[in-house]
Amino acid sequence: MDYYGREMSSLIGELSKLPGIGPKTAQRLAFHIIRQDEEDVERLAHSITEAKKKIRYCNVCGTLTDTETCPICSSPRRNQAMIMVVETTQDLAAYEKTGRYNGVYHVLHGAISSSLGIGPGDIRLKELLVRLQGEVEEVIIATNSTLDGEATAMYISRLIKPTGIKVSRIANGVPVGGDLECVDEMTLVRALDGRTLL
Ligand code: ZN
Protein backbone atom coordinates (compact mmCIF):
# COMPACT_ATOMS: atom_id res chain seq x y z
CA MET A 1 0.00 0.00 0.00
CA ASP A 2 3.07 2.25 0.22
CA TYR A 3 2.68 3.76 -3.26
CA TYR A 4 3.88 7.18 -2.20
CA GLY A 5 6.67 6.36 0.23
CA ARG A 6 6.52 6.19 4.00
CA GLU A 7 6.28 9.90 4.84
CA MET A 8 3.49 10.60 2.38
CA SER A 9 1.55 7.51 3.48
CA SER A 10 1.88 8.58 7.08
CA LEU A 11 0.60 12.11 6.26
CA ILE A 12 -2.36 10.66 4.37
CA GLY A 13 -3.01 8.29 7.27
CA GLU A 14 -3.05 11.11 9.84
CA LEU A 15 -5.33 13.30 7.72
CA SER A 16 -7.78 10.48 7.15
CA LYS A 17 -8.29 10.21 10.92
CA LEU A 18 -10.05 13.59 10.83
CA PRO A 19 -13.87 13.53 10.90
CA GLY A 20 -15.48 13.59 7.48
CA ILE A 21 -12.16 12.99 5.69
CA GLY A 22 -12.15 9.79 3.67
CA PRO A 23 -9.01 8.27 2.09
CA LYS A 24 -9.50 10.17 -1.19
CA THR A 25 -9.88 13.57 0.47
CA ALA A 26 -6.92 12.79 2.74
CA GLN A 27 -4.86 12.04 -0.34
CA ARG A 28 -5.94 15.29 -2.03
CA LEU A 29 -5.12 17.32 1.10
CA ALA A 30 -1.74 15.63 1.45
CA PHE A 31 -0.81 16.48 -2.15
CA HIS A 32 -1.98 20.04 -1.61
CA ILE A 33 0.20 20.36 1.50
CA ILE A 34 3.25 19.01 -0.33
CA ARG A 35 2.77 21.55 -3.12
CA GLN A 36 2.48 24.46 -0.67
CA ASP A 37 5.37 26.75 0.32
CA GLU A 38 7.22 25.58 3.39
CA GLU A 39 6.17 28.80 5.18
CA ASP A 40 2.46 28.11 4.67
CA VAL A 41 2.82 24.57 5.92
CA GLU A 42 4.71 25.75 9.01
CA ARG A 43 1.95 28.27 9.73
CA LEU A 44 -0.67 25.53 9.48
CA ALA A 45 1.28 23.16 11.70
CA HIS A 46 1.96 25.98 14.19
CA SER A 47 -1.71 26.99 14.47
CA ILE A 48 -2.72 23.38 15.04
CA THR A 49 -0.24 22.83 17.88
CA GLU A 50 -0.82 26.30 19.43
CA ALA A 51 -4.61 25.83 19.34
CA LYS A 52 -4.26 22.47 21.03
CA LYS A 53 -1.92 23.92 23.66
CA LYS A 54 -3.81 27.12 24.44
CA ILE A 55 -7.49 26.48 23.86
CA ARG A 56 -9.37 25.32 26.93
CA TYR A 57 -12.87 25.28 28.32
CA CYS A 58 -14.23 28.38 30.08
CA ASN A 59 -14.40 27.66 33.82
CA VAL A 60 -17.92 29.12 33.94
CA CYS A 61 -19.87 28.26 30.78
CA GLY A 62 -17.66 25.53 29.32
CA THR A 63 -17.22 27.06 25.87
CA LEU A 64 -13.88 26.90 24.06
CA THR A 65 -11.69 29.88 24.87
CA ASP A 66 -8.04 30.82 25.30
CA THR A 67 -8.53 32.54 28.65
CA GLU A 68 -9.58 30.97 31.97
CA THR A 69 -12.98 32.69 31.81
CA CYS A 70 -14.33 33.45 28.34
CA PRO A 71 -14.96 37.05 27.19
CA ILE A 72 -18.77 36.56 27.42
CA CYS A 73 -18.74 35.30 31.02
CA SER A 74 -16.35 38.07 32.08
CA SER A 75 -18.19 40.90 30.34
CA PRO A 76 -19.93 43.42 32.62
CA ARG A 77 -22.17 44.35 29.67
CA ARG A 78 -23.76 40.91 29.49
CA ASN A 79 -26.75 39.94 31.61
CA GLN A 80 -25.20 37.27 33.84
CA ALA A 81 -28.62 36.39 35.28
CA MET A 82 -29.88 35.00 31.98
CA ILE A 83 -28.36 31.67 30.95
CA MET A 84 -28.96 30.06 27.56
CA VAL A 85 -28.24 26.33 27.55
CA VAL A 86 -26.81 25.05 24.25
CA GLU A 87 -25.38 21.71 23.15
CA THR A 88 -22.11 22.90 21.60
CA THR A 89 -19.73 25.83 21.25
CA GLN A 90 -20.82 26.05 17.59
CA ASP A 91 -24.42 26.64 18.74
CA LEU A 92 -23.19 29.42 21.02
CA ALA A 93 -21.36 30.95 18.06
CA ALA A 94 -24.53 30.81 15.95
CA TYR A 95 -26.47 32.83 18.55
CA GLU A 96 -23.58 35.26 19.02
CA LYS A 97 -23.57 35.93 15.26
CA THR A 98 -27.15 37.20 15.47
CA GLY A 99 -25.97 39.92 17.89
CA ARG A 100 -29.40 39.84 19.51
CA TYR A 101 -28.71 37.95 22.71
CA ASN A 102 -27.28 39.77 25.69
CA GLY A 103 -27.26 37.03 28.31
CA VAL A 104 -24.64 34.35 28.94
CA TYR A 105 -24.47 30.67 27.97
CA HIS A 106 -23.99 27.21 29.34
CA VAL A 107 -22.46 24.67 26.95
CA LEU A 108 -23.48 21.07 27.66
CA HIS A 109 -21.06 19.45 25.18
CA GLY A 110 -23.69 17.03 23.98
CA ALA A 111 -27.23 15.92 24.70
CA ILE A 112 -28.82 13.09 26.63
CA SER A 113 -29.25 10.20 24.19
CA SER A 114 -30.65 6.80 25.02
CA SER A 115 -29.64 5.46 21.59
CA LEU A 116 -26.01 6.55 22.06
CA GLY A 117 -25.95 5.66 25.75
CA ILE A 118 -25.28 9.25 26.84
CA GLY A 119 -26.79 9.87 30.27
CA PRO A 120 -27.35 13.06 32.30
CA GLY A 121 -24.00 12.47 34.03
CA ASP A 122 -22.15 12.61 30.72
CA ILE A 123 -23.02 16.21 29.84
CA ARG A 124 -22.31 19.37 31.87
CA LEU A 125 -25.50 19.38 33.97
CA LYS A 126 -23.83 19.33 37.39
CA GLU A 127 -21.98 22.50 36.43
CA LEU A 128 -25.28 24.11 35.42
CA LEU A 129 -26.86 23.31 38.78
CA VAL A 130 -23.89 24.87 40.55
CA ARG A 131 -24.37 28.08 38.53
CA LEU A 132 -28.06 28.18 39.47
CA GLN A 133 -27.08 28.74 43.09
CA GLY A 134 -25.97 32.23 42.08
CA GLU A 135 -28.17 35.10 40.88
CA VAL A 136 -30.10 33.59 37.97
CA GLU A 137 -33.45 34.88 36.71
CA GLU A 138 -34.04 32.79 33.62
CA VAL A 139 -32.67 29.68 31.95
CA ILE A 140 -33.39 29.47 28.22
CA ILE A 141 -33.11 25.94 26.89
CA ALA A 142 -31.79 26.06 23.33
CA THR A 143 -30.87 22.43 22.74
CA ASN A 144 -31.53 21.17 19.19
CA SER A 145 -35.04 20.15 18.17
CA THR A 146 -33.94 16.56 17.58
CA LEU A 147 -35.27 13.70 19.73
CA ASP A 148 -32.16 13.88 21.91
CA GLY A 149 -32.33 17.67 22.13
CA GLU A 150 -35.98 17.55 23.20
CA ALA A 151 -35.33 14.83 25.77
CA THR A 152 -32.49 16.92 27.17
CA ALA A 153 -34.70 20.02 27.32
CA MET A 154 -37.36 18.09 29.21
CA TYR A 155 -34.82 16.70 31.64
CA ILE A 156 -33.32 20.13 32.34
CA SER A 157 -36.68 21.80 32.84
CA ARG A 158 -37.67 19.14 35.38
CA LEU A 159 -34.38 19.68 37.13
CA ILE A 160 -34.74 23.45 37.35
CA LYS A 161 -38.46 23.91 38.06
CA PRO A 162 -38.24 23.08 41.79
CA THR A 163 -35.71 25.91 42.21
CA GLY A 164 -38.33 28.49 41.22
CA ILE A 165 -36.07 29.93 38.49
CA LYS A 166 -37.87 30.81 35.23
CA VAL A 167 -37.28 28.15 32.55
CA SER A 168 -38.09 28.71 28.88
CA ARG A 169 -37.63 26.78 25.64
CA ILE A 170 -36.78 28.40 22.29
CA ALA A 171 -39.66 28.34 19.78
CA ASN A 172 -40.07 25.61 17.21
CA GLY A 173 -38.67 27.86 14.50
CA VAL A 174 -35.57 25.70 14.44
CA PRO A 175 -36.11 22.90 11.90
CA VAL A 176 -36.48 19.46 13.41
CA GLY A 177 -33.29 17.49 13.07
CA GLY A 178 -31.32 20.55 12.05
CA ASP A 179 -28.19 21.49 13.91
CA LEU A 180 -28.44 24.99 15.33
CA GLU A 181 -25.25 26.05 13.59
CA CYS A 182 -26.78 25.40 10.16
CA VAL A 183 -29.86 27.51 10.82
CA ASP A 184 -29.96 31.07 9.46
CA GLU A 185 -29.76 34.04 11.81
CA MET A 186 -33.35 35.26 11.38
CA THR A 187 -34.67 31.82 12.35
CA LEU A 188 -32.56 31.88 15.50
CA VAL A 189 -33.74 35.37 16.43
CA ARG A 190 -37.37 34.31 15.93
CA ALA A 191 -36.81 31.15 17.97
CA LEU A 192 -35.33 33.20 20.79
CA ASP A 193 -37.98 35.95 20.75
CA GLY A 194 -40.77 33.37 20.56
CA ARG A 195 -39.53 31.26 23.45
CA THR A 196 -42.20 29.85 25.74
CA LEU A 197 -42.18 29.35 29.48
CA LEU A 198 -42.03 25.72 30.58
ZN1 ZN B 1 -17.77 31.39 29.53
CA-nearest of 109, 126, 177 to 147 is 177
Distance 139 CA to ligand 1 centre (A): 15
pLDDT tens figures, 87-108: 999 999 989 998 999 999 999 9
Residues 165, 198 contacting (CB under 8 angstroms): no
CA-nearest of 164, 159, 105 to 137 is 164
Distance 81 CA to ligand 1 centre (A): 13
Distance 110 CA to ligand 1 centre (A): 16
Residue 185: its pLDDT value, please? 81
Residue 52: its pLDDT value, please? 92
Distance 119 CA to ligand 1 centre (A): 23
Distance 25 CA to ligand 1 centre (A): 35
Going along the chain from its start, the domains and CATH numbers come out as 6-54 (1.10.8.420), 64-197 (3.40.1360.10)
pTM of this structure: 0.80
- DSSP reduced 3-state for 82: strand
Residues 61, 106 contacting (CB under 8 angstroms): yes
Query: Which ranges of the chain have pLDDT less than 70?
Result: 1-2, 173-182
The CA distance from 99 to 58, in Å, is 20
Q: Please give the order of strands across the beta sheet that includes 166-169.
A: 103-107, 79-86, 138-141, 166-169, 196-197
Q: Is residue 56 within a helix (H) or strand (E), and if so which, with residue range?
A: strand 56-57
